[in-house]
Chain A
Amino acid sequence: MDWSVLWSNRDLYASGLWSTVELSAAAIAACTLLGLVIAAIRTSRIPVLAQLARCYLEVFRGTPLLVQMLFIYFGAAYLGIGNISVFGAALLALTLFQGAYVAEIFRSGIEAVPRGQWEAARVLGLSRVQTFGTVILPQTRAIVLPPLVGQYLSLVKDTSIAVVIGYAELLREGQAIVDRDGHPGMAYLAIAVLYFVICSPLSVVVRRMERKAVTA
């Protein structure tokens, strides 16, 4: 084994790693926001909106992320919406896909808060939005956080799917290196190590929070 191949490609690995982190961070922020909004709509029982939110969940949790990404990336051009960038398409697909899962996580947390909390806050003269933000949401922390971080973990891994539409993230750079230098075993091992370095701290956090939630 010639380890110098790894070192000589350090720039490609670094730029791939950075692209992965960039896409992950943007998608985590966006899908959390979307999930929160969808969960609020779902639990609000506003007639038409609540059903629409449900349909959104059905469609985006019942179809593969890859199909959604291809649909958005190639579909935008087909509909003449103009050229969506690879990053934009990957971000939008990741947000919509993971947002559906995040929404269900928030919903389970919100529904676990006793109804009386809502009523009490309303009696005290808080508006609906205030009640949701300052009374209900903080109480969902213990239930929501472990699965939420777990979902972020799967989001980070799912950024690799953007390779199919040509986003230059970690796996794409790995492919490029293999195409040029060969040694697929070593290149993919290096990529795996890099993913592991990002993901395993998240796993550790999830496990610790789960243990805490059980003992609390």
Chain B
Amino acid sequence: MFADWTYALQDWPTYLGAAWLTLKLSLAAFVLACALGLLGALARRSRHALVRAPAAVYVEVIRNTPVLLQMFVAYFALPSAGLRLSPVQAGIAALGVNVGAYLTEIFRAGIQAVPGGQREASRVLALSPFRTFLHVVLPQALRNVYPAVINQLVQIILGSSLLSAISVPELTGTAMVINSRNLLTIQVFGIAAVLYLVLTNVVVLVAELIGRAAFKPPLRPMRPRQSVLAGLRSAARRLVLIRKEA
């Protein structure tokens, strides 16, 4: 039993490298998704139906088809349309385009939730529409939707596991390769699962710290989605209290 684990853990540099690729891929896809989401949200709020319609179609088509299919299209079908992407490029594109559709709706809701009086006040102060959006509406909208956006980042990290199906050597794909070599299924996928838990927890924690520093007034602590960390934190706090009393 232990021998199996130590044997499986001999490949730790490979696991860590793969986890690092997962993180890099996910962050790249997240940046793409945020850009698409912001553009999509603006387009969906446009006065012109010709701008609104393509954004609506984008959101509907992407949200009603599986992300794995979108990855297959990006990697297997686009070459026959003359666009040849490497597995990593296709993966980042598919994940980014997929989550961009969800972020379109999230950003749209966030922008809509900013009270109209804010816009009117900015106009009275003679800010241009562009500056009103950039300095008044957008910061408040981002503050509204920050937890939902971070949740999408977690979804990207989990979704990036599917890129193993288009031969990207990320964490899951690497685990599959190692498993086919040593056949220690429980250990290999157990290690991968733990690394995913660490990745998602660390990303949420870092995002929470950024969120607390970046917004005014500071964001309330996010609902502890990952309560393992929350439990540790409250345990530590309790320890400090006990020490103070003693």
Partner-binding segment picked from B47-55, B191-199, B207-215, B233-241: B191-199
Given known A-B contacts A64-B158, A77-B185, A58 and B69 have beta carbons under 8 A apart: no
Taking a contact as CB atoms under 8 Å apart, the answer to whether A171 and B193 are in contact is: no
- Expressed in whole angstroms, the Cα–Cα distance for A58 and B232 within the complex equals 14
- For the complex, count residues of B whose C-beta is within 8 A of A: 42
Residue of B nearest to A104 (CB): B225
Over the window 160-192 of chain B, the binary record of Cβ atoms lying under 8 Å from chain A Cβ atoms (1 yes, 0 no) is 111011000000100110010001111001101
- For the complex, count residues of A whose C-beta is within 8 A of B: 42
**Residue from the list A58, A71, A183 in contact with B185, Cβ < 8 A:** A71
* Interface SS, A side: helix
**Residue from the list B69, B192, B201 in contact with A171, Cβ < 8 A:** B69
Interface positions, chain A 187-206, Cβ under 8 Å from B, are 188-189, 191-192, 195-196, 199-200, 203
Given known A-B contacts A62-B226, A64-B161, A64-B196, A70 and B189 have beta carbons under 8 A apart: yes
Taking a contact as CB atoms under 8 Å apart, the answer to whether B66 and A195 are in contact is: yes
Q: B179: which A residues are within 8 A, CB to CB?
A: 70, 74
Closest Cβ–Cβ distance, residue B98 to chain A (whole Å): 10
Q: Is B127 an interface residue (CB 8 A)?
A: no
Taking a contact as CB atoms under 8 Å apart, the answer to whether A63 and B76 are in contact is: no
Taking a contact as CB atoms under 8 Å apart, the answer to whether A199 and B65 are in contact is: yes
Residue of B nearest to A198 (CB): B64
Q: A200: which B residues are within 8 A, CB to CB?
A: 60, 64
Taking a contact as CB atoms under 8 Å apart, the answer to whether A195 and B65 are in contact is: yes
Q: Is A25 an interface residue (CB 8 A)?
A: no
Q: Is A212 an interface residue (CB 8 A)?
A: no
Taking a contact as CB atoms under 8 Å apart, the answer to whether B162 and A161 are in contact is: yes
Closest Cβ–Cβ distance, residue B77 to chain A (whole Å): 4
Over the window 69-84 of chain A, the binary record of Cβ atoms lying under 8 Å from chain B Cβ atoms (1 yes, 0 no) is 0110011011100000
Taking a contact as CB atoms under 8 Å apart, the answer to whether A195 and B64 are in contact is: yes
Taking a contact as CB atoms under 8 Å apart, the answer to whether B197 and A59 are in contact is: yes
Interface centre among A68, A78, A199 (most CB of B within 10 A): A78
* Interface SS, B side: helix
- Expressed in whole angstroms, the Cα–Cα distance for A191 and B193 within the complex equals 30
Q: Is B159 an interface residue (CB 8 A)?
A: yes
By a beta-carbon cutoff of 8 Å, the part of chain A in contact with chain B is: 54, 58-59, 61-68, 70-71, 74-75, 77-79, 153, 157-161, 163-164, 171, 174-175, 178, 183-185, 188-189, 191-192, 195-196, 199-200, 203
By a beta-carbon cutoff of 8 Å, the part of chain B in contact with chain A is: 60-61, 63-69, 72-73, 76-77, 80-81, 158-162, 164-165, 172, 175-176, 179, 183-186, 189-190, 192-193, 196-197, 200-201, 225-228
Give the 4 A-B residue pairs with the shortest CB-CB distance, closest first.
A64-B161, A160-B66, A199-B64, A157-B66
Given contacts A63-B158, A70-B172, A185-B80, 20 further A-B contacts (CB under 8 A): A58-B227, A61-B225, A62-B200, A63-B193, A63-B196, A64-B161, A66-B164, A67-B175, A67-B189, A74-B179, A153-B64, A161-B68, A174-B69, A183-B80, A184-B72, A184-B76, A185-B81, A192-B65, A200-B64, A203-B63
- Cβ contacts A to B, 26 pairs, < 8 Å: A62-B196, A62-B200, A62-B226, A64-B158, A64-B172, A67-B172, A67-B193, A70-B172, A71-B190, A74-B179, A75-B189, A79-B186, A157-B65, A158-B66, A160-B66, A161-B66, A161-B162, A164-B164, A164-B165, A171-B69, A171-B72, A174-B69, A184-B72, A191-B69, A200-B64, A203-B64
